[in-house]
Structure formats: C-alpha cells, structure tokens
C-alpha cells in the first residue's frame, strides 16, 4: 500500500487502511482502530463504573441532577415506584425520574411502566380519572 494510507493499531497490532481509524480532533488518526475502539468502549460501559458514569451523564443532561441526587430521591421513596410500588429489581430497569414536560420540574420516582403510562395518558388528570371510571364500571 502507499505510504500514509495504512496505520498499525496500538491495540491489535494489525496494519489497516487509515479508513479503519477514527480521526481525532486534529488532523491525525486515533491510535486504535475502529473495531478495537468499539470493543474497549463496550467493555467499559458494562463495568459498574461505566454504567454509573453513563447514568450520571444522562441524568445531568435530561434533568440537571447527579447520580447521587438521583439515588437520594430513590432512597426517599423507599426504592419503589410511587404509583405501583415496583422496585428496580422487579422490572429490571432503573427507576425513572418523572418530570413535568412543561416546566421540567421533577415530580418523583416511577417505574418505567408507570412513567410511560402517564405519557400515554398525556399527563392529563381528566383522562386518568376517566380511565379509572372506565375500569370501575367494567368490574
């Protein structure tokens, strides 16, 4: 191959075309190939530290709170959904931060199903009350 069209990966030690490497912020290519980069990132995100870091980033971006603040909220409600009482281990998902979509204020901690249900009912109390009446009439 032509000079400058290949590069040796720092991790797997294989010579590959430069198209197999991500470009860094500068004009240079990264030291590891795309495959090794993906493998390394995947492994890190599946460690406890990686999961925690990822969750912290999402919480900060979406709700403006840290993982520690989230854990405090969960502890305050006894680690259970405030509607149905499900725990994180019950449904296999982290408990969700419920928030008002208009004001972005955090309302509480819910399981994934209850949080989605509120969204499907468009967060309208009258619609939820109608759903309760409907269920009561059908018993």
Pair of tokens at residue 43: 């492994």
Per-residue model confidence (pLDDT) at position 3: 54
**Domains of the chain: which residue ranges?**
6-44, 47-137
Pair of tokens at residue 15: 């010579």
What's the chain's average pLDDT? Answer: 88
Task: Give the angle 104-109-115 at the CA atoms, nearest 5°.
Answer: 75
Task: Give the angle 5-7-11 at the CA atoms, nearest 5°.
Answer: 160
The pLDDT confidence band at residue 45, using thresholds 50, 70 and 90, is confident
The pLDDT confidence band at residue 94, using thresholds 50, 70 and 90, is confident
Per-residue model confidence (pLDDT) at position 91: 67
Q: Which of 102, 53, 50, 93 is nearest to 74 (CA)?
A: 93
Q: What is the mean pLDDT of residues 82-100?
A: 86
Spell out where 18-64 has E strands: 21-23, 29-33
Q: What is the pLDDT of residues 108-128, one digit of tens each?
A: 999 999 999 988 888 788 998
Answer CATH for 47-137 from 3.50.40.10, 3.40.1800.10, 3.40.50.2300, 3.40.50.1820: 3.40.1800.10
């Amino acid at each position: 191959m032509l000079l400058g069209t290949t590069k040796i990966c720092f991790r797997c030690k294989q010579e590959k075309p430069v198209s197999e490497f991500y470009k860094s912020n500068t004009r240079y290519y990264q030291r590891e190939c795309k495959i090794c980069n993906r493998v390394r990132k995947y492994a890190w995100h599946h460690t406890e530290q990686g999961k925690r870091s990822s969750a912290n980033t999402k919480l900060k971006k979406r709700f403006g709170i840290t993982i520690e603040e989230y854990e405090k909220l969960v502890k305050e409600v006894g680690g259970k959904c405030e509607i149905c009482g499900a725990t994180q281990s019950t449904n296999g998902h982290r408990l969700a931060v419920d928030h008002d979509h208009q004001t972005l204020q955090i309302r509480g901690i819910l399981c994934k199903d209850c949080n989605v249900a509120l969204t499907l009912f468009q967060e309208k109390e009258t619609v939820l009350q109608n759903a309760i009446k409907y269920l009561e009439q059908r018993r």
